[in-house]
Amino acid sequence: MNLGRDMGAQSAVFDRVVEQEKVIEQLETSALHPLHAYFFVGPRGSCRWEAAKGFAALILSAGLDQTDAERAVRLALSGEHPDLVRVSPQGNQYRDEEVQIVINEASRTPVESARKIIVADRFHTANATAVGRLLKTLEEPPPSTVIILMAEDIPDEQITIASRCMTLEFHPISTSGVLTWLLGQNCDGEIAETVALASRGDLHRASDLISDQHVTDRFFMWQSIPERLTKDGYVIAELVEEIRNSLDEAQAVIDERHIQEKELLAEREESLGVRGSGRKELEANQKREIRRFRIDELRFGFATLVNVFRDKMHVAPSEPLARSIEHVRRANGALNRNPNESLLLQGLFISLSDEDI
């Protein structure tokens, strides 16, 4: 059986891609005759990387006998195939150095397969210089290379790049879609409902929260804040401390996984006799993930607060409630600037306490 061309196998490689049927259909068709470049655009947690791995599995297994094809699919889906290269930025921006890695990899011949798949992650952060350097490679691509740019959006300065690619739009996963996925992972029904709300359409976040035994407690904590809040400074300070402690507690799940990742890296370094290979990038990615996790937790809390105020508005509309919703929305917007958590929460609770809700 030619696994790279079997339609049943094509469906199977996208099992981890949720609610992106149109994208899957486009990739299944395109895998028969791959283009030189693709732009996967959509929010974090919308299964872009899972789709890229599935797409790579189809391409890298094409033309192989059953045993070799199954091996190629298995390695591609785990992200470990030698001809599937993922290049992620070490900092907050995709820099010239990372783009040069993409360019260099594109010029190299595949290790095992007829093609090489290069995935440039978080490309929406690329600066203008990096974009310009990659443009030539996209205009004159090596015939054996397929480049996939993954981004949350397409900035104006990347429109020219996008015009050289086939763009595929990934939409946010619905709460019901996340819930269905969670139940399929044998997550408890009550916890699954809270996790589905807390994940806000992000399947990566939902995956982290599956084993979090306190996510429901945090949900109720945020719900209780309007009733507990007063103008007393010590009350506000206690609420801020309680929230920050809950963030630390929630982060423990991520910290444990990060320890395991470092242990695996150390084992790999020991077996290969290589020190420091990938460690800097791993640590940078872990710091970024923690920062993103805590921001997501605050967004979950702010969304819970807004829902409480909206429920009150349905019963008895008032200007203080309307202003309270606006205060929370401003605090949510401020998260984009990576603010000090304590100061942000203190400012929000002082504003809310002034509304006498």
Element (H, E) at 143: none
Q: Write down how long the chain is.
A: 357
Q: What is the pLDDT of residue 11?
A: 63
| The pLDDT of residue 7 | 45
The model carries a pTM of 0.77
Mean pLDDT of 158-169: 94
Contact 354, 232 (CB under 8 A): no
CB 295 within 8 A of CB 198: no
Q: Rounded to the nearest 5°, which phi and psi values hold at 86? A: -110, 125
7-169 — its CATH code?
Answer: 3.40.50.300
CA distance 202 to 173: 7
Give, in order, the Cα–Cα distances in Å from 237 to each of 28, 345, 356: 54, 9, 18
- Given a cut of 70, whether residue 6 has pLDDT beyond it is no
The whole-number pLDDT of residue 9 equals 47
Q: Give ranges for CATH 3.40.50.300 in the chain.
A: 7-169
**CA nearest to 341, candidates 284, 298, 288:** 298
Determine the pLDDT at residue 88: 87
d(CA 55, CA 4): 10
Query: 81-102 in b/e burial notation, b at 16+ Cβ within 10 A?
Result: bebbbbbbbbeeebbeebbeeb
**pLDDT score of 160 more than 80:** yes
Sheet holding 37-41, edge to edge: 84-87, 116-120, 145-151, 37-41, 166-169
Examine the pLDDT at 2 and tell me if it is beyond 60.
Answer: no
Please write the tens of the pLDDT for every residue from 190-232: 889 999 988 888 998 898 888 888 999 999 999 999 999 999 9
d(CA 280, CA 275): 11
> b/e per residue, 34-72, with b = 16+ CB within 10 A?
bebbbbbbbebbbbbbbbbbbbbbbbbbbebeeeebebb
What the block records as the tokens of 178 is 């996340």
Which residues lie below 8 Å from residue 101, measured CB to CB, with a gap of 6+? 87
Q: Which residues fall within 8 angstroms of residue 62, CB to CB, at 6 or more apart?
A: 2, 4, 5, 31, 114
Q: Coil, strand, or helix at residue 49? A: helix
27-73 residue pLDDT tens: 999 999 999 999 999 998 999 999 999 999 999 999 999 999 999 99
For 238-297, how does the pLDDT look when each residue is reduced to its tens digit (9 = 90+)? 999 999 999 999 998 889 889 988 888 888 777 766 655 567 778 888 888 899 899 999
